[in-house]
Structure 1
Amino acid sequence: MTTGEHGVDLLILDLDGVLVDTQDAEDGALAYLGTLMGVHLEHHEAQELFSGKKVQECIDLLEGLAHRPPPPDAVPIVRAKCRELIGSTLEPVPGVREALARVDVPMCVASNSPLELIKERLSDCGIIDHFDGRLYSAYEAGAWKPDPGLFRWAARDQGVPADRCLVVEDSLVGVDAALAAGMKVLQFNVVPVRAPHRAGVPTFSSMHALPGLVHGGRSS
């Protein structure tokens, strides 16, 4: 993959698990809902089942496993449990602050999360200023990953052709959306040995490596 000033005009970043350290909390909150419905999942099972997906889609998956409807307030239950698991302080993924400061192309966030949640988490981590309002929510687009519509909307809004965009994702759902949108994609995994990935998609395990990858380096 060739990247750099002649290959990338827009860097599109996922939120949970890429910029902010919340993916385990998201998966854990959904697993908690599962226990309320009689479905008990191990950590790796919750990760594989839920990571990157729309909350309602995850609740639908639990309904299928439980063979019973979810509580009527399932989404608020998940949101509240996630906040509890995150705790009083939210941190960016290690290396993110330094990486964002060194990336020299326009950046935006494209997430399956609601827009207000994107703003809240980026603000809590102190990194929202890097994006200058370039925040794209699937709830605003009406298209959730793996549908490529969210990424295509972000690129169109920024006036950048799809093949000049580089997407950073941690989940297969996001990777598949980027590929379907015709964009370059990198998969970020802190523990790459255990993480499922798509053949041919470069992976990296340290955010410190991101600027080099954007500007022409290789995955590490």
Structure 2
Amino acid sequence: MHDLVIFDCDGVLVDSETMSNQCIIDNLARYGLELGLEDAIGFFVGGTMTGVMQKARELGAGLSDDWIDEIYGEIYARLRAGCPVIEGVPGLLDKLDAHGTPFCVASNGHEAKMEITLGQNGLWPRFNDRMFSAHVHGIAKPDPGLFQLAARHFGAETPVVIEDSPSGVTAAIRAGMRCLAYAAHSDGTELRDLGAEVFHHMNDVPELLAL
């Protein structure tokens, strides 16, 4: 039995990855860099915005040093217009509560972004006092430190991580933690090859966790 469930946020709790990456695509096109959605997801999902800027510059985009503030403003505006919760998440959290299993979120994303996405879906009160952001702690996936910090905070000895990106899975495996990888739109081969147990719907998680 696991004594802590650590969730990633974007793409795991809320369906924000496609929206955020489309926003990045639209922005970078103004700087002369044309990318498709599949390219952007491959380059950027699971990373930090600093990493996005560095990669975009390597690909030829002439971005200014204040680009991160610019793109966050555009992403936040788009997410405020509506960002759905991943189907099955509220019920999964209810089951964890019923079994007395604590849970938290550990994300490379900014807390302000999570307040927007989780807030409009009624999830913010369930996570706002159990949140670990790379922007606050200065530790970003694939470094395992963010997950290790969360486990220490809860005194957890058998935590499990729920992720959807290669960098997140890598961080969990490096931390020596079991990792369940949510693959909603693929067979999850890449995530499985990194050491995760792949699943395709949040309704599968209670059985995987023996709840």
Which TM-score applies when normalising by structure 1?
Answer: 0.87
Where do residues 1-220 of structure 1 align in structure 2 (5 Å cutoff)? 5=1, 8-66=2-60, 69-86=62-79, 88-103=81-96, 104=99, 105-131=101-127, 133-161=129-157, 164-193=158-187, 196-199=190-193, 200-215=195-210
Q: Secondary structure at the match of 1:110?
A: strand
More deviation in 122-131 or 56-65? 122-131
| Kept after mapping to 2: 8 A contact 1:110/1:154 | yes
Residues of 2 paired with 1:140 and 1:85: CA distance? 23
Q: Which amino acid is the alignment partner of residue 88 of structure 1?
A: A
CA offsets 1:54-95 (integer angstroms, 9 cap, x no match): 0111111000110x5413431132223323443522221111
Superposition deviation, residue 126 in structure 1? 0.3
Q: Deviation of residue 194 (structure 1)?
A: 6.8
**Any unmatched runs of 5+ in structure 1?**
none
For residues 152 and 92 of structure 2, what CA distance do their matches in structure 1 show? 25
Q: TM-score, normalised by structure 2?
A: 0.90
- Percent identical among aligned pairs is 30
1:116-151: CA deviation from partner (whole Å, max 9, x where unpaired): 322332222101233361111111211111011111
Give the secondary structure class of the aligned counterpart of 1:75. Answer: helix
Whole-Å separation in 1 of the counterparts to 2:26 and 2:51: 16
The answer on whether the counterparts of 1:141 and 1:149 sit within 8 Å (CA) in structure 2 is no
List structure 1 segments (4+ residues) > 4 angstroms apart after TM superposition.
none
How much is the aligned-residue C-alpha RMSD, in angstroms? 1.8
Q: Which amino acid aligns with 2:75?
A: C
